[in-house]
């Protein structure tokens, strides 16, 4: 039975056409489901009785269950959603005076094994469906609506796909969810306020440019291939040159005229002055901004956060080279909601230990 949370406008129109319904019904449905947060077909009063009966018999509106709602003293809020078979994913809300940003997960776990990332450490289980991705935004707005009885409710104004998983490794499902985020009848966010963050799946960056160009953030983390090969293993497949070329191509259609490069600062690993100078040289090729991320620790990570002195030295070198550089404020550390700390609950199907052992033996 189709779950209507899995459908963007075009998909819904198709589905409805199969029941002999007109395309404008899709827009009505999108508004009920995503704008008003209604999940009961009987309450969708302008749809007509016959259509409501068909929907009740032939379709569902299923969402993952909300399992935990944690609030950090700094206002950051984290939700744990149950996605079945023992897996749970996390979503983080970051309220700021001028915007409310939601950090969304795209996979249960991640297969890419970046050395400093808690999600990567736990291995990969599966891609999230479009419904499970958009559910995170639906739940966030739902909870904000409930909080705000009697006052103007806050709504999510920005989405960053920087939670668990690599969004471009789950391309089809992520794009349906992105289209819903952008659709005026659903969440109505502008392309500039929706950001996909990728560790560098080059062919998929091109596909995103052609099918749904939103703001792009690229997790660089190292200024040369030798170091990036270690920190972000996907670099062995698509090295920095190929990645920067894809970034330049992306800018032809991007809603913003720069790429955001993310760079996690790891003490004694990638935070030296020589790394900063090397980074400046590499980034001359691409209009960009740089976001430096202080490393967020997790158990047995094997890395340490750079000292504040190293962070400001690094930043100064970039700024002196006229690179717009910000340092990400760490938020939600108390509830393990900071970048790279999301672990949710994932049944690891990659059998990483066994695989590693085999690699060592081979
Ligand atoms: N898979 C995507 C998006 C999710 S990760 C990507 O890698 O871009 C979002 C950001 O958090 C990435 O830049 C990632 O490198 C960074 N990150 C991962 N682990 C981190 C940690 N322990 N501390 C700080 N940032 C981390
Ligand atoms: Fe996956 Fe991103 Fe973590 Fe790398 S940093 S393991 S791509 S979630």
Q: Do domains 4-58 and 65-361 have the same CATH topology?
A: no
Q: Running DSSP on this structure, what letter comes out for residue 153?
A: P
pLDDT classification of 95: cutoffs 50, 70, 90: very high
What pLDDT score was predicted for residue 251?
Answer: 98
Task: Determine whether domain 4-58 maps to CATH 1.10.150.530.
Answer: yes
pLDDT classification of 153: cutoffs 50, 70, 90: confident
Can you tell me the distance from the alpha carbon of 253 to that of 248, in angstroms, rounded to the nearest whole number?
10
Q: Which residue has the higher pLDDT, 338 or 292?
A: 292
- Ligand 1 centre distance from Cα of residue 188 (Å): 26
Has residue 362 got a pLDDT over 50?
A: no
pLDDT in tens, 108-125: 999 999 999 999 988 899
Q: Which residue has the higher pLDDT, 339 or 328?
A: 328
Residues labelled catalytic: 90, 339
Instruction: Give the closest ligand to the alpha carbon of residue 262.
Output: 1
264 in contact with ligand 1, CB cutoff 6 A = yes
SS3 content of the chain, % helix, strand, coil (to 5): 40, 20, 40
Mean pLDDT of 259-264: 98
Identify the CA nearest to 303 among candidates 267, 347, 254. 267
pLDDT in tens, 160-211: 999 999 999 999 999 999 999 999 999 999 999 999 999 999 999 999 999 9
Neighbours of 53 (CB within 10 A): 13
136 in contact with ligand 1, CB cutoff 6 A = no
Has residue 361 got a pLDDT over 60?
A: no
pLDDT in tens, 32-82: 999 999 999 999 999 999 999 999 999 999 999 999 999 988 889 999 999
**Best mutation site among 107, 109, 110, 339 for ligand 2 pocket (most ligand atoms within 8 Å of CB):** 110
Given the CA of residue 198, which atom of ligand 1 is nearest to it? 8
Query: Is the distance from CB of 64 to CB of 98 less than 8 angstroms?
Result: no
- Ligand 1 centre distance from Cα of residue 17 (Å): 41
Query: Is the distance from CB of 229 to CB of 235 less than 8 angstroms?
Result: yes
Q: Which residue has the higher pLDDT, 317 or 359?
A: 317
| In the chain, domain spans | 4-58, 65-361
**Best mutation site among 114, 195, 243 for ligand 2 pocket (most ligand atoms within 8 Å of CB):** 114
- Ligand 2 centre distance from Cα of residue 334 (Å): 21
The whole model's pTM is what? Answer: 0.94
Mean pLDDT of 324-344: 78
Per the DSSP assignment, residues forming a β-bridge with 60 are 3
340 in contact with ligand 1, CB cutoff 6 A = yes
Task: Determine whether domain 65-361 maps to CATH 3.30.70.980.
Answer: no
- Ligand 2 centre distance from Cα of residue 261 (Å): 14
Q: Tell the residue nearest (CA) to atom 4 of ligand 2.
A: 114
- What mean pLDDT value characterizes the chain? 93
226 burial (CB, 10 Å; 0-12 / 13-18 / 19+) is exposed
Per the DSSP assignment, residues forming a β-bridge with 124 are 109
């Amino acid at each position: 039975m189709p779950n209507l949370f899995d459908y963007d406008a075009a998909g819904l129109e198709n589905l409805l056409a199969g029941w002999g319904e007109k395309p404008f019904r899709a827009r009505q449905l999108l508004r009920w489901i995503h704008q008003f947060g209604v999940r009961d077909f009987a309450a969708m009063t302008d749809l007509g009785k016959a259509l409501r009966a068909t929907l009740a018999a032939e379709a569902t509106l299923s969402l993952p269950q909300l399992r935990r709602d944690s609030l950090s003293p700094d206002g950051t809020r984290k939700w744990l959603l149950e996605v079945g078979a023992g897996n749970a994913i996390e979503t983080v809300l970051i309220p700021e005076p001028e915007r409310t940003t939601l950090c969304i997960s795209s996979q249960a776990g991640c297969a890419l094994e970046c050395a400093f990332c808690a999600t990567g450490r736990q291995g990969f289980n599966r891609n999230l469906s479009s419904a499970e991705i958009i559910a995170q935004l639906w739940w966030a707005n739902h909870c904000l609506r409930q909080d705000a009885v009697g006052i103007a409710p806050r709504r999510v104004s920005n989405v960053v796909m920087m939670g668990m998983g690599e969004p471009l490794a789950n391309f089809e499902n992520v794009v349906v969810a992105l289209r819903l985020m952008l659709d005026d009848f659903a969440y109505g966010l502008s392309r500039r306020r929706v950001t996909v963050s990728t560790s560098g799946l080059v062919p998929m960056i091109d596909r995103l440019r052609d099918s749904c160009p939103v703001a792009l953030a690229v997790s660089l983390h190292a200024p040369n291939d030798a170091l990036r090969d270690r920190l972000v293993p996907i670099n062995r497949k698509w090295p920095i040159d190929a990645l920067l070329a894809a970034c330049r191509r992306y800018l032809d259609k991007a809603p913003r005229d720069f790429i955001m490069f993310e760079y996690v600062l790891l003490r004694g690993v990638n935070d030296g002055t020589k790394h900063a100078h090397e980074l400046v040289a590499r980034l001359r090729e691409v209009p960009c901004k740089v976001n430096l991320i202080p490393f967020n620790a997790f158990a047995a990570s094997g890395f340490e956060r750079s000292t504040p002195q190293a962070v400001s030295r690094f930043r100064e070198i970039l700024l002196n080279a006229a690179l717009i550089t910000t340092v990400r404020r760490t938020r939600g550390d108390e509830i393990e909601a900071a970048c790279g700390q999301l672990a949710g609950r994932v049944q690891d199907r990659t059998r990483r230990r066994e695989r590693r052992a085999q690699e060592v033996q081979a």
